[in-house]
Amino acid sequence: MTASDGVVRAASAPEDLSPVLVWHPLAEQFRKALRLRIPGIPIETHAGVGRLRRPSAADVLLAWTLPPGALDQLPALRWIQVAGAGVDHFLMRDDLRPQVELTRSNGRFGLQVAEYVVGYLLHTLLGIEDYRRNQDRGVWRQLPRPLLSDRRIGIIGLGNIGSAIAERLTPFGVQILGVCRTARPVPHVARVFAKDDWHAMLPLCDALVVAAPLTTETAGMIDAKAIRALPAGAILLNVGRGGLLDEIALLEALRDGHLGAAILDVFQQEPLPADSPLWTEPRAWVTPHIAGPSEVDPIADEFSENYRHFVSDEPLLNRVERERGY
């Protein structure tokens, strides 16, 4: 049971609690946070990037990324809670056995990514960078200053993150369009396009925010054709995954002026290689996959709630459907 203080009072005695391995750079903080929430929980931790020194008997794993073959070192594993929103990197693994349940975390990723998007959109539309450059050269020049409230923004992916972006953009008066697999109505989104007619949304968007999961269906969807369907001067933001976007087509569109700016938090290869032309492209903004960082407390809360389900044999929350890819 979860009491009002958030502590899991397990129905079972501590010796019946399932052993957990926390494999995360913040593993020690997770250990403390989980012990407060689930007294007696048996926890091993691993904060390193290499494999475990010896196999683990844990049947539960809380992790973000793991080296290849790491899951083979957990023969009793029954459930993995991914400490992030995207699970593509787990679904691609060779060592993920079919009977292992996979769940993801919501954390405060929606809020975090939405603040990132609002910040970068305002920064770009208000011309903050252009005025700084002009100031450096002592240039007094008034540039056009479009308002967010006269703009239309398209969001690809209207899950937890995409819908939080729509919510946070709404107070600026922006008109929001969106794409989701099932084309269901979504609060704050004026028009939702389905996966088979989403190209029709692109010419309507002054800015396009890519916030979809990476799956076999979405891989490479923002290709040259999609980029060219955006109006001239449009802004592209990618907070989903690098694999959704054709980086070569993007660079071409920045260089020939078709795109006004690209704001990129995720890349085909991370860290972005030192010789990537994106680093020095004047109208690309590169951030190192920080739009939605892992926070210990919200993830520990979600994990504890799910752990209670796990030890009571109840269905887990935020289950990943492997065939769907998220």
244 is a contact residue toward ligand GLV (CB under 6 A): no
Q: Which conformational region is residue 87 in: left (phi greater than 0), alpha (psi within -120 to 50 degrees), or beta?
A: alpha
Which lies closer to ligand GLV via its Cβ, residue 64 or residue 131?
64
Region near ligand GLV per CB under 6 A, out of 6-14, 81-89, 123-131, 177-185: 81-89
303 is a contact residue toward ligand GLV (CB under 6 A): no
162 is a contact residue toward ligand GLV (CB under 6 A): no
84 is a contact residue toward ligand GLV (CB under 6 A): yes
Which lies closer to ligand GLV via its Cβ, residue 84 or residue 260?
84
Query: Amino acid identity, residue 115?
Result: E
Length of the chain equals 326
- The catalytically annotated residue of 191, 289, 309, 322 is 289
1-60 residues in contact with ligand GLV (CB under 6 A) are none
Alpha-carbon span 57 to 41, nearest angstrom: 14
292 is a contact residue toward ligand GLV (CB under 6 A): yes
Specify whether 97 is catalytic.
Answer: no
Alpha-carbon span 297 to 33, nearest angstrom: 7
Alpha helices in 192-295 (DSSP H): 224-229, 247-255
Query: Amino acid identity, residue 118?
Result: V
- In the complex, minimum distance from the CB of residue 109 to ligand GLV, in angstroms, rounded to a whole number: 5
Alpha-carbon span 141 to 151, nearest angstrom: 23
85 is a contact residue toward ligand GLV (CB under 6 A): yes
Which lies closer to ligand GLV via its Cβ, residue 178 or residue 292?
292
- The catalytically annotated residue of 108, 151, 241, 308 is 241
Region near ligand GLV per CB under 6 A, out of 79-87, 93-101, 162-170, 315-323: 79-87
Task: Decide: 45 and 30 in contact? Cβ < 8 Å.
Answer: yes
Rounded to 5°, angle at Cα 193 from 190 and 196: 175
Which candidate, 104, 83, 82, 157, places its Cα nearest to that of 317? 104
- In the complex, minimum distance from the CB of residue 86 to ligand GLV, in angstroms, rounded to a whole number: 3
192 is a contact residue toward ligand GLV (CB under 6 A): no
- In the complex, minimum distance from the CB of residue 111 to ligand GLV, in angstroms, rounded to a whole number: 13
Specify whether 241 is catalytic.
Answer: yes
Alpha helices in 143-290 (DSSP H): 160-169, 224-229, 247-255
Count of residues in contact with ligand GLV, rule CB under 6 A = 5
Residue nearest to ligand GLV (CB): 84
List the one residue from 86, 110, 159, 178 that touches ligand GLV (CB under 6 A): 86
* Residue 59 token pair: 């049947």
Torsion of CA 176, 177, 179, 180, to 10 degrees: 60
Please give the C-alpha separations between residue 180 and each of 111, 196, 222, 243, in angstroms, as whole numbers.
Answer: 19, 10, 14, 18
Which lies closer to ligand GLV via its Cβ, residue 151 or residue 168?
168
Query: Amino acid identity, residue 289?
Result: H
109 is a contact residue toward ligand GLV (CB under 6 A): yes
193 is a contact residue toward ligand GLV (CB under 6 A): no
- H or E stretch covering 264: strand 259-264
Region near ligand GLV per CB under 6 A, out of 5-13, 80-88, 148-156, 248-256: 80-88
Instruction: Using CB under 6 A, list all residues that contact ligand GLV.
Output: 84-86, 109, 292
Residues annotated as catalytic are 241, 289
